[in-house]
């Protein structure tokens, strides 16, 4: 049995029986990249902080909970590659530059942290934690912490150590906890709907 079909992640369970399985995974990755890109454009500036609040973490938490670790990491990696190739999928593109140059800017640490966040949340989903909002929230908090640390350290490297907390962590704690709570509740609810659908389909 493959690592995909043995996963407890919602999307994997829902689509594991399809005949065009690998085409389905590519489709899910493409959908995930599009959702992350759209969520990156929904933003609230935090001047003078160069990094605004967006809905990216909500999108990645939800996708990772539904996709599982491998598909989630593949999706976020595809998103980063798309941006590195010059497509305007990041929060500040194209007005703040595109491609590798943008990724080396203030948000670079958070972008790299998205991969870690997707991995941690996806691993929890692989173990079936996405059926329980409290377990999923705990895993998301670990992923959130690691992502913020990576983003804050990069911010401190670019702008000075005094900006690590002031710009790198402080402005995002409350908003990201709200997004975390929303994502942790969404996926168990969808699990319930999916299970009812699969039972009625037998």
Q: Is 1 helix (H, G, I), strand (E, B) or coil?
A: coil
pLDDT value at residue 183: 87
pLDDT value at residue 4: 58
Q: Residue 53: beta bridge partners?
A: 44
Report the 10 Å Cβ neighbour count for 151: 25
The Cα 154–Cα 168 span in angstroms is 8
Report the 10 Å Cβ neighbour count for 1: 7
In the predicted model, what is the mean pLDDT of residues 88-95? 84
Residue that wins the pLDDT comparison between 44 and 101: 101
Lowest average pLDDT, out of 66-75, 125-134, 174-183, goes to: 174-183
Q: Cβ neighbours of residue 196 under 8 Å, at least 6 residues apart?
A: none
Phi–psi pair at 201, nearest 5 degrees: -90, -5
- Whether pLDDT at 21 is above 80: no
CATH code: domain 10-200 is 1.10.1760.20
pLDDT value at residue 40: 92
Please state the domain extents for the chain: 10-200
- pLDDT-derived band at 34, boundaries 50, 70, 90: very high
The Cα 17–Cα 37 span in angstroms is 29
Q: Which residue has the tokens 């990069």?
A: 154
- Whether pLDDT at 167 is above 90: no
**If you average pLDDT over each of 8-12, 15-19, 82-86, which comes out highest?**
82-86
**CA separation, residue 9 to residues 4, 62, 94, 174 (Å):** 9, 11, 34, 27
- pLDDT-derived band at 78, boundaries 50, 70, 90: very high
Q: Is 46 helix (H, G, I), strand (E, B) or coil?
A: strand
pTM of the full predicted structure?
0.82
In order, the DSSP letters of 6-74 are T---HHHHHHTT-SSHHHHHHHHHHHHHHHHHHHHTSEEEETTEEEEEESHHHHHHHHHHHH-HHHHHH
């Amino acid at each position: 049995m493959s690592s995909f079909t043995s996963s407890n992640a919602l999307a994997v369970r829902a689509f594991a029986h399809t005949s065009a399985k690998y085409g389905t995974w590519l489709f899910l990755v493409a959908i995930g990249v599009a959702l992350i890109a759209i969520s990156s454009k929904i933003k609230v500036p935090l001047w003078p902080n160069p990094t605004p609040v967006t809905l990216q973490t909500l999108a990645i938490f939800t996708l990772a909970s539904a996709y599982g670790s491998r598909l989630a990491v593949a999706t976020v990696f595809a998103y980063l590659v798309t941006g590195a190739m010059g497509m305007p999928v990041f929060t500040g593109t194209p007005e703040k530059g595109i491609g590798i140059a943008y990724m080396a800017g203030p948000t670079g640490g958070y972008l790299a942290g998205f991969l870690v966040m997707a991995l941690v949340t996806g691993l929890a989903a692989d173990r079936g934690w996405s059926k329980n909002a409290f377990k999923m929230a705990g895993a998301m908090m670990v992923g959130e912490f690691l992502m913020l640390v990576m983003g804050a350290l990069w911010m401190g490297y670019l702008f000075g150590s005094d900006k690590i907390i002031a710009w790198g962590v402080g402005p995002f704690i409350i908003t990201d906890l709200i997004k975390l709570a929303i994502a942790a509740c969404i996926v168990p609810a969808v699990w319930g709907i999916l299970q009812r659908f699969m039972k009625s389909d037998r």
